[in-house]
Amino acid sequence: MTMPQPLPDQTADNEIDDNARMLLNAVEDALATTSYRDPSPTPLIGDAPPVAQQGRPPMSQGATDASVLMLAGGATTVMVGGTAAVLMYVSQFADPVVCGLVFGAPTALVLALARLAKKAKSALPDEIHNHNNGPVYQDQRNVRTKNVGVWARTNIRE
């Protein structure tokens, strides 16, 4: 007894089913990806040299602050000057001296505030960062002394 040969349409359907099964298996494998997070803590201080990151080149904190201040000042100047120029062109009768006073006042105010902030920043105490290894005992006491009389006698109270 001989088996009947499959019709050409049935063979194409079987190939499509096999391709669909392979594609479905590939999608399931891709969706079943795993991830691993290392639970060990990252060291806060190490020997590795710093690595330059993308973006601005590495520079000191003072240089970074100055460059940001210059960028902000330049953008402010462009906005103020552009607004004044557009106003004078559109109105056709705006007085350049008056526009300079009106649009220059905010710039002068910003410069005055920046100078005030710089003076206030220098009045702040320095930050102290301590990095200790092992058990450390820190004793910070305030000692008050009082000297009274012709013959000075010191009383120390903690």
Say what the pLDDT of residue 16 is: 64
Stretch 144-150: mean pLDDT: 70
Q: How many domains does the chain have?
A: 1
Say what the pLDDT of residue 34 is: 66
Residues 50/53/59/64 CA torsion (nearest 10 deg): -130
Q: Would you say residue 48 lies in a domain?
A: no
Q: Would you say residue 98 lies in a domain?
A: yes
Q: Would you say residue 2 lies in a domain?
A: no
Q: What is the pTM of this model?
A: 0.31
Q: Would you say residue 102 lies in a domain?
A: yes
Q: Could you give the C-alpha distances from 112 to 42, 59, 108, 118, in angstroms and in order?
A: 44, 27, 6, 10
Which contiguous run of DSSP H or E holds residue 69? helix 61-91
pLDDT tens digit sequence for 88-111: 788 887 777 877 777 777 778 888
What's the whole-number average pLDDT of the chain? 77
pLDDT tens digit sequence for 39-51: 888 767 777 777 7
Q: Which domain does 114 fall in, by range? A: 67-122
